Amino acid sequence: MQCIIIILQVMSGNYYIGDYSILRNRQVIQGGEVIFESRENKPVSFFTEVYKHFGLNYPRFYKMDNLCKLGFLCAELLLKDKQIQQLYPAGETGIILFNAASSLDTDRNHQQSISSRLDYFPSPSVFVYTLANIVIGEICIRHKIFGEGTFLIEEKFNPSRMFSYVRQLLNDDIVKCCLTGWIELDGDQIDGIMVLVEKTAPDPDRIAIFDPGILTKIYSQIS
Amino acid sequence: MRKVYVVSDNIITSLGFTAENNLAALEAGQTGIRLHEDEQMSPSPFWASLVDLNSLNDRFSAYADPDQYTRFEKLIICSIQDAIKNTSVSLTGEKTLFILSTTKGNIDLLDPKHGARFEESRLYLWNTAQLLQRFFRLHHRPWVVSNACISGVLAVIIGKRLIGSGEFDHVVVTGADLVNEFVLSGFNSFLSLCPGPCKPFDADRQGLSLGEGSGTIILSADRNLSEDHGKIIVGPGFSNNDANHISGPSRTGEGLYMTIRRTMENTGRKINFISAHGTATPFNDEMESIAITRAGLQNIPVNSFKGYWGHTLGAAGIIESVAGIGSIRHNRLFRTLGFSRSGVTHPIAVIDETKEYQTDTILKIASGFGGCNASLLFYRS
Amino acid sequence: MDQLIGKLKTEIIEVLNLTELTPDDIDENAPLFVEGLGLDSIDALELIVLLEKKYGLKLATADEGKKVLRSVRSMAEFITENKKG
């Protein structure tokens, strides 16, 4: 078990992470612990189990593709005790997400639907998810977030880029807080991690200073 | 924060392989949107603006073997190669970054007809970034922005921010997307394709036209690296989400209004021209008219470029910004090709004739699937 | 007609991912859009695909779609009418 407790140092220019959420392969990890584990093989079944296990109530969930379910659940678990739309009114919360596969999982589904002229029925509800940034849209709808959103592609989890861009957005006051994470889904591989970065320390007992090192530490947790 | 200049640019579309050629086509009122018959792309004939592959390969062969690169990669590389001709920005320096903007990249490789010749890793956008890094011997791996139709505008905004902070001195922003069966079939399933060249803001508009192409804007903190000594400055820019629906725009234009307002609050300049997103779908154009009016810009000349090039997706924000920059350079506004009478509930000043006009400050706006919206200012120094 | 209505309800639940609903939860006379099930524009397009894929009936425009897709019953009536000819 890993605990992350760092003595609060009030230094100018520091930002803070209060908590994080990880959905990786078939586990949900928060606060340094595996809080849920599934034996489901397929991502879609795993996500449904997580949704039910945590007593979520959001029927739109079932319409989402796997990538959006992953991002949605990471955000849901991260923000469940926070009324983010009240803490940070319209336009102040940014969402900056990264992955490697973009929306390839759904792209393959769409391609499948057009692969034969004899059974040619492209589906609008599949096609709409052939854009990685839709996951940002789903999170915004759910949590009433109106701020800056960007989806970026990297070969692998890149804590230094994540850190430097989010820090710049906060420094320049473009956002007052920022959800950021690595939301990767490719075939059966699930690798989602999300953190909320804020200008003020949310909870003195459980915060960490936002820097590439803490991102690496959070990401590298293995159960 | 230091100023960021546009030191060079390029457009590649069906209308030409340079910004100059494309602007000349705008002046002549040409559209690149044509009816095509290609069984490999669509079971039935379709309207789109396509880059001629033979011409692309001819141009590309000056740089490398066309058979070793995909259509998407060739579009990007040719655009960058043209843009760098007009500036001495060092591509390989530590303070130079590339940003790539695209929605679907090499997605046509999912189709075995196209994909058989290339390894599967080419499908991944980070692979394109890696390819560009090797091709141009770049110090840093390019960023890749993949954020629906606002990708291009976002990429320029990000480039501008990264220079402004001092992290980089020069950023090459390139956007590209293809028309292929993947996107044609998808937009068809949305019943959103126009049976003919699109008609932005028009009462008879019936949907969008797809287009392919690439565009490049080279940004630098050093005005002397541009032939015009820093005539064009990149102003503030922001993005905001509607938080409403993943494909339909907000009925109140919430996200777009918020981003326009933020950009206006961060500049003291009067906007002379708005380059709208103007895809010619019933909902998009209506939403834009609402957002523009809410922002108090209903009397500012506004156009859509989509009637010339179609909707070039990840390239649109860049191609249309370059055209808007052309408006500043030449004090010229280009009419909204396809428009004849207004079909939006909020009367906005749609440009219906190409004319001379003192254009110092332009606002580029864009919206996309996922409820995203972006706005960006360019102005004369 | 009742059999068709029952079949349609199951198909609608499936194609629209209304996972938490059963056919009994759907009133065939209630509006599908705005009120009732509160379906949206993508759902409408998906139902248009359903009509073509499962019943071979093509709706060309969103407007035609509005009438036919008013309720499960109106969909069933459309299918019954057009399968005759």
To the nearest whole Å, the CA of C69 is away from the closest chain A CA by 16
Neighbours of B345 (CB within 10 A): 9
**Final residue belonging to a domain, choices B225, B253, B284:** B225
Q: What is the pTM of this model?
A: 0.96
The strand pairing partners of A181, in sequence order, are A97, A194
Range of the domain at B323: 233-380
Q: Which of C14, C46, C50 is most worth mutating to test chain A (most A CB atoms within 10 A of its CB)?
A: C46
B220 and B240 belong to one structural domain: no
CA distances from B14 to B11, B17, B51 (A): 10, 8, 4
Distance, CA of B112 to CA of A153 (rounded, Å): 24
CB contacts, 8 Å: C53 with chain A = 121
The residue among B11, B9, B1, B76 whose CA lies nearest residue B232 is: B9
**Final residue belonging to a domain, choices B171, B201, B225:** B225
Neighbours of B237 (CB within 10 A): 25
Cβ–Cβ below 8 Å for C41 and B248: yes
Distance, CA of B207 to CA of B94 (rounded, Å): 44
To the nearest whole Å, the CA of B29 is away from the closest chain A CA by 33
Distance, CA of B5 to CA of B217 (rounded, Å): 10
Distance, CA of A89 to CA of A104 (rounded, Å): 34
Tell me the CATH number at B287. Answer: 3.40.47.10
* Cα A35–Cα A41–Cα A45 angle in degrees, nearest 5: 70
Q: What is the chain B residue with the closest CA to C65? A: B191
CB contacts, 8 Å: A125 with chain C = 15-17, 42-43, 45-46
Dmax of chain C from CA atoms? 37
Burial class (CB in 10 A: 0-12, 13-18, 19+), B265: exposed
B299 and B332 belong to one structural domain: yes
Distance, CA of B363 to CA of B260 (rounded, Å): 8
Cβ–Cβ below 8 Å for A124 and C20: no
- The one-digit pLDDT tens for each residue of chain B (381 residues) are 899 999 999 999 999 999 999 999 999 999 999 999 999 999 999 999 999 999 999 999 999 999 999 999 999 999 999 999 999 999 999 999 999 999 999 999 999 999 999 999 999 999 999 999 999 999 999 999 999 999 999 999 999 999 999 999 999 999 999 999 999 999 999 999 999 999 999 999 999 999 999 999 999 999 999 999 889 999 999 999 999 999 999 999 999 999 999 999 999 999 999 999 999 999 999 999 999 999 999 999 999 999 999 999 999 999 999 999 999 999 999 999 999 999 999 999 999 999 999 999 999 999 999 999 999 999 999
Neighbours of A3 (CB within 10 A): 8
Per-residue pLDDT tens digits for B85-130: 999 999 999 999 999 999 999 999 999 999 999 999 999 999 999 9
What's the structural domain count of chain B? 2
B175 and B220 belong to one structural domain: yes
- The answer to whether the CB of B370 falls within 8 A of the CB of A150 is no
Tokens describing residue B229: 């000594």
Q: Phi, psi (5° rounding) for residue B9?
A: -155, 170
Q: Residue ranges of the alpha helices (H) in A80-196?
A: 84-87, 104-113, 124-127, 134-143, 159-171
Query: What three-state secondary structure class fits A99?
Result: strand
Q: What is the chain C residue with the closest CA to B194? A: C61
B81 and B219 belong to one structural domain: yes
Confidence check: pLDDT of A41 > 90:
no
The full set of domains in chain A, from first to last, is 16-220 (3.40.47.10)
Sorted by sequence, the CB contacts under 8 Å of residue C85 that are 6+ apart come out as none
* Cα B249–Cα B252–Cα B258 angle in degrees, nearest 5: 90
Tokens describing residue A21: 């959420």
Sorted by sequence, the CB contacts under 8 Å of residue B348 that are 6+ apart come out as B201, B288, B289, B292, B293, B297, B298, B302, B342
Distance, CA of A50 to CA of A60 (rounded, Å): 15
Tokens describing residue C8: 């349609």
B209 and B261 belong to one structural domain: no
B24 and B116 belong to one structural domain: yes
